[in-house]
Amino acid sequence: MVNTLEASVQQILKDIEFPAFSQQIQNLMTVDHQDQSAQELAELVLQDFGLTLKVLQVANSFQYNRSSRSIDSVSRAIMVMGVKTVQSLASTLLFFDHYQKRSIALKRLMLLSMLSAHHADGAATAMHFKEKEEAQLAGMFRNLGEVLVACHFPSHYARISVETQSGANPPARACLRTLGFTYEGLAKAIGKHWKLPTKITQMWTPAENGRLDDLSALAQFGHDTTTVMYRRTSGDFPARLQLLSMQHGHRLGLTDEAIEQIIDKAVDDTKPLFTMLGMTVAGVRVGPAPAGRAPTDGKPADGKPATAPVHGTVR
């Protein structure tokens, strides 16, 4: 049994695929935003052919490119979108692709993380947060600890999932009992190894006086919205919306209507990615869609309920 944080970190670092991936993340995250950084970022992305294709594919989507001119190079993507946007996009896609291909359970978990990223981005737009790219990146990485446990300690993850499935035990308690540390503790340790910015890693630290900084609050909103809407099996849609409004509405200045629009936009924005992977939002949802509104996310392609679901509760 894994019983210490340090031992678990060392075990993850010894994974045969982890060092190269870890170095890529470090290189991307340490690019500064000065004039010379555009060339440095382009060179880093171009080193990975698969990442280059994915960056260009997303850069040409309606979300990023609404002109009639195609973005046909990484350099042009940086010129049109900016260094910070491409840096965030490349980091998000690299993180997503590395883990989604390792198992069907991780693919679902990474798709849920992508929804969280878009929820955080939508909230950042609604509250006019200046660093939207950082909000999306923070939303994507918010669930890093769970992803790492699911990938590197699957038997322990299965045990934690069983304990948290009914909502009787919060993830933190189940993690401490099974692992000896929390998802957030592991995420922070690996985040430091990757040299993630402090403003990102601080989202895994309990807030002083119970109030999160804006970036951490946006990441938590993204995470909680995904959990409430896709990982819970109780409560109709209005009840779930009301819960999110109570938790985050005042802090982020979001109305019920704004939250609902953020949820719908995240589904629309991630639909091409889900389709490319042969998945739907319904396919990663735990249980049926909440009652109280017309379904907007379709049905699994095979018409069958999802198997091996990932579970979680708001914390």
Q: How many helices (H) and strands (E) does the chain have?
A: 18, 0
Q: Which two tokens stand for residue 72?
A: 């046909």
Give domain status of residue 50, yes or no.
yes
Nearest CA-CA partner of 109 in 26, 248, 227, 16: 227
Length of the chain counted residue by residue: 315
Domain presence at residue 203? no
Q: Is the confidence at residue 6, as pLDDT, over 80?
A: yes
Please state, in angstroms and rounded to a whole number, the distance separating the CA atoms of residues 108 and 89. 20
Instruction: Tell whether 183 is covered by a domain.
Output: no
Q: Cβ-count burial of 196 within 10 angstroms (0-12 exposed, 13-18 middle, 19+ buried)? A: buried
**How many domains is the chain built from?**
1
Q: Could you tell me if residue 39 is inside a domain?
A: yes
Residue 309 has pLDDT above 60, yes or no: no
37 in a structural domain:
yes
Domain range for 86: 31-101
Lowest-confidence region among 5-9, 121-125, 156-160, 270-274: 270-274
Summarize pLDDT for 164-212 with one digit per residue, the tens.
886 668 899 999 999 999 999 999 999 998 988 899 999 999 877 778 9
Per the domain annotation, does 90 fall within a domain? yes
Assigned domain for 54 exists: yes
Tell me how far apart the alpha carbons of residues 59 and 73 are, in angstroms, rounded to a whole number: 10
Mean pLDDT of 149-154: 96
- On the question of pLDDT at 39 being above 60, the answer is yes
The verdict on residue 118 lying in a domain is no
| pLDDT of residue 307 exceeding 60 | no
Q: For 6-20, 43-57, 68-82, 273-287, which range has the lowest pLDDT when averaged over its residues? A: 273-287
The overall pTM is greater than 0.75: yes
In angstroms and rounded to an integer, the radius of gyration of the C-alpha atoms of the chain is 19
